[in-house]
Structure 1
Amino acid sequence: MKILKEAAKRTEEDRRNLTETVSCMIEEVRSKKDEALRKYNLQFDGCTRETLRISRKEIQKAYNQLTSQEIEDLRTAAANIRAFAKAQRETIRPLTNFSPMPGIFLGHRIIPVESCCCYVPGGNYPLYSTALMLIIPAKTAGVKRVAACSPVMKGTNEINPKTLVAMDIAGADEIYAVGGAQAVAAFSYGTEEIPAVDMIVGPGNRFVTEAKRQCYGQVGIDFVAGPSEVMVLADGSGTPEVVAADLLAQSEHDPNAKGILVTTDETFAKKVMAAVEKELCLLSTAEIAEKSWNTFGEVLLAESEEEMAELANAYAPEHLEINMQNPQEMADNLYNYGSLFIGENTAEVFGDYASGTNHTLPTLRAARYTGGVWVGTFLKTCTYQSMTKEAMKELAPLVARLAEGEGLMGHAEAAKVREKK
C-alpha cells in the first residue's frame, strides 16, 4: 500500500473535562428537572420557552412555512424509508414450539420497546432527514410512544420548520424543543414535563454522545457515534469528478468528518484529488469541507483489489462505496461497513435521504460489531419455554448434576424437588 494523501491522526479530546462537564449536566437535570432544561435552553440556544413540548398549532405553523414541493419531497422520502422498514420487519418473526427433545417446547416473541426518544440534531445544518430515519423505523416496529426532540434554532423558541414537519410526517407522538446532553438526561431519567423513555437513538455532538454513553444502562441506546466517514473503493474505471463529489459530500458534515479513497490506479487517484480542489472552489460549504478534507482526507494506493478489500474490512467505515467496473465481485468480499453502495450509480447521498435504507450508522470502526439503526433496533427477541411432566422428570437429573458441578446446591435442589412430584 502506498499513501498518496495521509490523514492527520485524531487526537484524544480532553476526555476528563468532557466527562465531568456532561456528568454535572446529567446530575443537574436529574435533580432540578425542567428548571435545568430551561436554563440550558437559554444558555446554549437563547431559547426562552416555558413549555418544552411542541403544540399542534406550532406543527401546523411549520407546515405553512414550507412549500408544497418541500412537503411532497419529505413524504416521498418517508414512503421509501417506511416501505423498506416494513419489508425488514416482515423478516423478523416469532419462533414457536421448537422441541430439542420430546416434551420440551421453546420459542421466542418479538416485542417492541414501549417507548423511545429520537434525537434529531441541529448544529450546522437542520438534519430533518434524520427525523425520518429514526422515527419511521420505531413506528414500524410498533413502539407505542415515540418521542422526538431537537434543539431550537439559535436565538429563537422554535425548532427548524423542516425538521418539525419531518417529525410529524414520520409519525412522532410527542415532540420537544430541547437538545444537547440535557435532552439525553431528561429522556433517561424523566422530568416534570418529559416522561422517561426506554431507549434513545440518534446522532449528536460530542456532548450528546458522551451523555448517551453515561446514561446507557438507565436507558438503551443505538450506539455511540463519532464523526461521519466515507470510503470509496475505485479501480480507475469511474469518473473522477463523481468520486470527488462523494468525498466532499461527506467532508462538509463537519471539520472532523473523513473522506477516504482507496484505489489501484495512481493516475485516477491524482485526477480525483485535482477534482476535489476544483470543486472546493465552487462549493458553498467549502469552509468546512476543505478543513475536513485537508485534515482528515486520505488517499491510499492499493497493490490489488484483494488489498482494497482488506483495507476496507480493517477500517470498517460508516459508508462504503464501490466505484468499480465489476462492483458485485468486490461486494462479495466485504463484511465490515455501516452501509454499502454498489456501483457508481449508487451515490451515498441517495441513502442519506431517500432511497430507503437508514443513514444512522456506526462510525469509528463500530461496524465491526454492529449495523446501523433499523426496525430491529426497537425490537426485543424474548425467549419462553414450557415442558411436560415427563420431560421435566427426564431433564431434572441432568440439570441437578450440572448445578452441583458448579457448587450451586440451591439450583440443584430446585431441579430435584420436581422429581418428587
Structure 2
Amino acid sequence: MTTALSKSTLKAALGTPAGRSETVRDTVARIIEDVGTRGDAAVHEYSQRFDGWSPDDFRLTTAEVERVVASVPGQVIEDIRFVQRQVRGFAQVQRDSLRDVEVETLPGVRLGQRHVPITASGAYVPGGRYPLTASAHMTIVTAKVAGVERVVACTPPIRGQMPAATVVAMALAGADEIYLLGGVQAVAALALGTETIDRVDLIAGPGNAYVAEAKRQLFGEVGIDLFAGPTEILVIADEHADPFVVAVDLLSQAEHGPDSPAVLISTSAELARTAIEHVERLLPGMPTRDMAEPAWRDHGEVHVVPDLDAAFALADGYASEHVQVLTREPRRALVRMRHYGALFLGEGTCVSYGDKVIGTNHVLPTRKAPRYTGGLWVGNFLRTVTYQEVTDPVASAYLGELCGRAARVELFEGHARSGDVRAAKYADAPLPWTDHRFPEPA
C-alpha cells in the first residue's frame, strides 16, 4: 500500500508522455519486412528516400576513414581520445568485477559459470539533427572491452554529408566495420543481414522513435540493449542549491527533444520559484529553443515537498533516467533512492558530464524502466553461461536416483530414465523399467 506524498505543484506538465504511434509501428514493420525480403535493394531505396543518401557501398573503406580522420582538427581528436579513455577505463573496471567461478558442491560434482562475449554487435550512433559522437564511445568502446570480436557501427549522414567527428569517434573506438547508414533500414540490416552486411547478435545505442520501434520489433531476432524513449531529467534540490544552476541543468536535457521531461523536486518553494524564473529568462536565447521550449512547456514539472525524505520518495516514483541531486548532502540519495537510470551527485557533477565526458555509460533506461533495469554496461555484451561436470560415480549414482524420483513427481519419464541409467551403471542397481541390468560398455 502506498501513501500519498505531501507536495505542492508550481508547474505541471501540460502534455502526456508520448506513446507508441500506430503510424510509426506500421511504417517500421513495412520497412523491416521489405529489408528482410529484398535486402540491399530495399536498404538503398529507404536510405535514398529518408536521408538522400545511396552510395554504391554504405561501408567506409579504410582509406576513406583515414581521410576523414585527417580532416578533423587535432583538438577534436584529442578530446575524443580523452573521453574514450574514461569510458574504456570504467568499462574495464566493470569487466574485472565479473569473475568466472567454479565450485565443488559434492565430491566430484563441479558447477561453473563463465562470462563469454557475444561474437558480433551492432552500434547504432544517432545523427539527424546532432552528430552524437558520444554514443560511439558508449556502444563501441564498451563492446570491445567486453571482448566482442566484431563491432559494426552505423550512423546516418547529416543533410547528405558525412558526419566527420562521428566517423572519427567510431574509428578510434575500435569499430571493425563502419557504415554511413541510418534509420530503420540500418537496424533491420544489422538484425537480419543483407547481401553486403552480415547480421549481428545484439544491437546497442539510442535513436529516434522509428529506431526505437525497430529495435522493439526485432527483439528476439536479435538482442538489444534496452527499450529507450525520450531523454529525462529529474533534479532534487534543497535550499542550499543554486537556482541558476538548477535551471541550466534542467534545460540541458530539455534540448534533446520536444517530448523530453524535465522535473524539479525541491524542499524550498523560494528556490523552485526562482529556478522557474531563470528557465523562462534563459529559454529565448537558447540556440536549441525549438526543442527545449516545448519540452519545458509541455513536460516540465516543479514540485515542492516538505523534506528530503519526501523528495527521495517522490523521485523514486518517477524512476527517471537521470537524477541530479543538488543538496547539502547529496550522497544520502545513494542510500535512500532505488529507482533511477543514473545518479549525479552534487553541484560539481551534472548530467551533461555523463552524456559526454565522464566515463559512465549514457545509454540509460527511460519511461520508468529503471524500476527493473539499469543502463548499458559491459555485461550487456557478455553471456553468462554455466557448465556442470560429475566425475565421482558415487555422486552420479546418488543424483541419478534423486533425479528419477524428482522427475516422476512431474510425470517426466524420459528425464527420470536419464537418472535411472546412471544409478544403474554406477551403483549396480536395477533399472525399474526393464527386466535386465544396464549393459556394461563393450
TM superposition score normalised by structure 1: 0.97
For 2:202, the equivalent position in structure 1 comes to 199
| Mapped contact 2:120–2:200 kept (Cα < 8 A) | yes
Query: Residues 30-78 of structure 1: CA distance to partner in whole angstroms, max 9, x if unpaired?
Result: 1110111110111001113110101122212222332111111111111
| Mapped contact 2:137–2:169 kept (Cα < 8 A) | yes
Distance 1:236 1:137, change over 3 A: same
Q: Give the Cα–Cα distance (whole angstroms) in 2 for the partners of residues 84 and 6 of structure 1.
A: 38
State yes or no: 1:411 paired with 2:415.
yes
Counterpart of 1:335, as a letter, is: R
**Offset at 1:307?**
1.2
**Offset at 1:103?**
2.4
| Mapped contact 2:341–2:365 kept (Cα < 8 A) | yes
**Offset at 1:330?**
2.7
Q: Give the Cα–Cα distance (whole angstroms) in 1 for the partners of residues 192 and 245 of structure 2.
A: 46
Query: Aligned residues: percent identity?
Result: 42
Q: Give the Cα–Cα distance (whole angstroms) in 2 for the partners of residues 273 and 14 of structure 1.
A: 30
Within a 5 Å distance, the mapping from 1:13-24 to structure 2 comes to 13=19, 15-24=21-30
Query: Residues 211-265 of structure 1: CA distance to partner in whole angstroms, max 9, x if unpaired?
Result: 1011111100001100000111111211111111110000000111111100110
Q: Give the Cα–Cα distance (whole angstroms) in 2 for the partners of residues 14 and 225 of structure 1.
A: 12
Larger radius of gyration: 2
Within a 5 Å distance, the mapping from 1:110-125 to structure 2 comes to 110-125=115-130
Query: Residues 274-299 of structure 1: CA distance to partner in whole angstroms, max 9, x if unpaired?
Result: 11112113221112111111110111
State yes or no: 1:35 paired with 2:55.
no
Distance 1:287 1:373, change over 3 A: same
Counterpart of 2:114, as a letter, is: R
Q: After alignment, is 3-12 or 27-36 more displaced?
A: 3-12
| Mapped contact 1:400–1:413 kept (Cα < 8 A) | yes
Q: Give the Cα–Cα distance (whole angstroms) in 2 for the partners of residues 107 and 87 of structure 1.
A: 22
| Mapped contact 1:322–1:331 kept (Cα < 8 A) | no
Within a 5 Å distance, the mapping from 1:89-128 to structure 2 comes to 89-96=95-102, 98-128=103-133
Q: Give the Cα–Cα distance (whole angstroms) in 2 for the partners of residues 85 and 11 of structure 1.
A: 32
State yes or no: 1:78 paired with 2:114.
no
Query: Residues 115-137 of structure 1: CA distance to partner in whole angstroms, max 9, x if unpaired?
Result: 00000001221101110111000
Distance 1:325 1:14, change over 3 A: closer
**Offset at 1:393?**
0.7
Q: Give the Cα–Cα distance (whole angstroms) in 1 for the partners of residues 281 and 26 of structure 2.
A: 43
Counterpart of 1:217, as a letter, is: G
Which of 404, 420, 429 pairs up with 1:400? 404
Q: Give the Cα–Cα distance (whole angstroms) in 1 for the partners of residues 311 and 132 of structure 2.
A: 32
For 2:147, the equivalent position in structure 1 comes to 142
Counterpart of 2:221, as a letter, is: Q
Q: Give the Cα–Cα distance (whole angstroms) in 1 for the partners of residues 18 and 408 of structure 2.
A: 49
Q: Give the Cα–Cα distance (whole angstroms) in 1 for the partners of residues 107 and 12 of structure 2.
A: 62
| Mapped contact 2:124–2:204 kept (Cα < 8 A) | yes
Provide the aligned length of Structure 1 versus Structure 2: 418
State yes or no: 1:131 paired with 2:169.
no
| Mapped contact 2:320–2:341 kept (Cα < 8 A) | yes
For 1:153, the equivalent position in structure 2 comes to 158
Flag structure 1 segments of 5+ consecutive residues without an equivalent: none
Distance 1:83 1:162, change over 3 A: same
**Offset at 1:11?**
5.4
Distance 1:279 1:331, change over 3 A: same
Query: Residues 373-402 of structure 1: CA distance to partner in whole angstroms, max 9, x if unpaired?
Result: 111110111000111211111111221111
Q: Give the Cα–Cα distance (whole angstroms) in 2 for the partners of residues 64 and 279 of structure 1.
A: 38
Within a 5 Å distance, the mapping from 1:177-216 to structure 2 comes to 177-216=180-219
**Offset at 1:153?**
1.6
Within a 5 Å distance, the mapping from 1:8-407 to structure 2 comes to 8-10=14-16, 13=19, 15-96=21-102, 98-156=103-161, 158=162, 160-387=163-390, 388-407=392-411
Flag structure 2 segments of 5+ consecutive residues without an equivalent: 1-6, 426-442
TM superposition score normalised by structure 2: 0.93
Counterpart of 2:269, as a letter, is: E
Runs of 4+ residues over 3 Å off in structure 1:
11-15
| Mapped contact 2:104–2:110 kept (Cα < 8 A) | yes
| Mapped contact 1:228–1:318 kept (Cα < 8 A) | yes
Q: Give the Cα–Cα distance (whole angstroms) in 2 for the partners of residues 402 and 92 of structure 1.
A: 33
Q: Give the Cα–Cα distance (whole angstroms) in 2 for the partners of residues 99 and 234 of structure 1.
A: 51
For 2:432, the equivalent position in structure 1 comes to none
Provide the aligned C-alpha RMSD in A.
1.2
